[in-house]
């Protein structure tokens, strides 16, 4: 895959500090794949379920002339068709009930803990930008918010595009998401980027819903691939189904 390179003078607009801890939630099958491939999957944003992904909310244009706004939207949509965004999604939330339920399987799962700075260092040779997601209700009366402008090398077309991957609607606010994003004109489902596990994985947090067998498998897997990583446990405790149904 050919990465679109950023312009040398593109401003650093990231609002996430290097020492901020972040987490990615995995089912057992996905953490096994992550360890075995020693690679992080960047998904083409067109593969996400959210139909509003990469859409600039109407509230962004609330103070614009209507005709100018419509021309801008049309131009942006053409750029978006040409330039694909590939995204690796992480969360600021360490032990998030909703994320456990959505992104891990019924009886297994874990979360990888790292920091923003560790991933930035891992990707320092790639044109990857860090975006802390902002959440909006899309209301035209909402306070205006900023969407960063991505600048590509001058020999690329288009030269710029709005990083609308930074914006999601309020129903997704529970994710507390931080995204690592690269851009390409190649259109495929995604791309694996190789990493050094020891440089990235600080600890593994076991899902509160993992049964004893899967917990042991996750720990064994972790010790085989990242022996120095800490094993930690969720604070969430639930009654089993038999207890709640009595």
pLDDT band at 244 (very low <50, low <70, confident <90, very high): very low
**Tens-place pLDDT, residues 81-134:** 999 999 999 999 999 999 999 999 889 999 999 999 999 999 999 999 999 999
**pTM listed for this prediction:** 0.92
Q: 3-state DSSP call for residue 52?
A: coil
**Tens-place pLDDT, residues 13-42:** 777 899 999 999 999 999 999 999 999 999
Phi, psi of 162 (to 5 degrees): -75, 135
DSSP state of 131: E
Q: 3-state DSSP call for residue 152?
A: strand
C-alpha–C-alpha distance, residues 88 and 74, integer Å: 27
C-alpha–C-alpha distance, residues 51 and 91, integer Å: 21
pLDDT(75) > 60: yes
User: How high is the pLDDT of residue 243?
Assistant: 41
User: How high is the pLDDT of residue 242?
Assistant: 45
User: How high is the pLDDT of residue 240?
Assistant: 67
């Amino acid at each position: 895959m050919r990465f679109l390179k950023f312009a040398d003078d593109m401003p650093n607009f990231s609002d996430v500090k290097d020492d901020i801890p972040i987490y990615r939630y995995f089912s057992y099958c996905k953490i096994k794949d992550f360890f075995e491939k020693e690679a992080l999957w960047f998904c083409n944003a067109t593969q996400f379920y959210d139909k509003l992904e990469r859409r600039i909310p109407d509230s962004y244009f609330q103070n614009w002339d209507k005709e100018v706004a419509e021309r801008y939207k049309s131009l942006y949509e053409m750029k978006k068709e040409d330039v694909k965004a590939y995204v690796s999604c992480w969360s600021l939330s360490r032990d998030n009930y909703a994320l456990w339920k959505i992104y891990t399987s019924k009886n297994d799962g874990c979360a990888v803990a790292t920091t923003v700075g560790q991933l930035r260092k891992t990707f320092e040779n790639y044109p990857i930008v860090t975006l802390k997601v902002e959440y909006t209700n899309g209301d035209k009366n909402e306070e205006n918010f900023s969407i960063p402008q991505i600048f590509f090398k001058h020999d690329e077309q288009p030269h710029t595009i709005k990083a609308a991957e930074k914006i999601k609607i309020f129903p997704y606010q529970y994710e507390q998401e931080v995204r690592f994003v690269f851009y390409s004109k190649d259109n495929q489902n995604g791309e694996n980027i190789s990493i050094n596990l020891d440089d990235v994985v600080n600890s593994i947090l076991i899902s509160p819903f993992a049964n004893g067998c899967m917990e042991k498998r996750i720990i064994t897997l972790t010790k085989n691939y990242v022996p120095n990583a800490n094993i930690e446990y969720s604070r969430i405790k639930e009654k089993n189904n038999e207890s709640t149904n009595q």
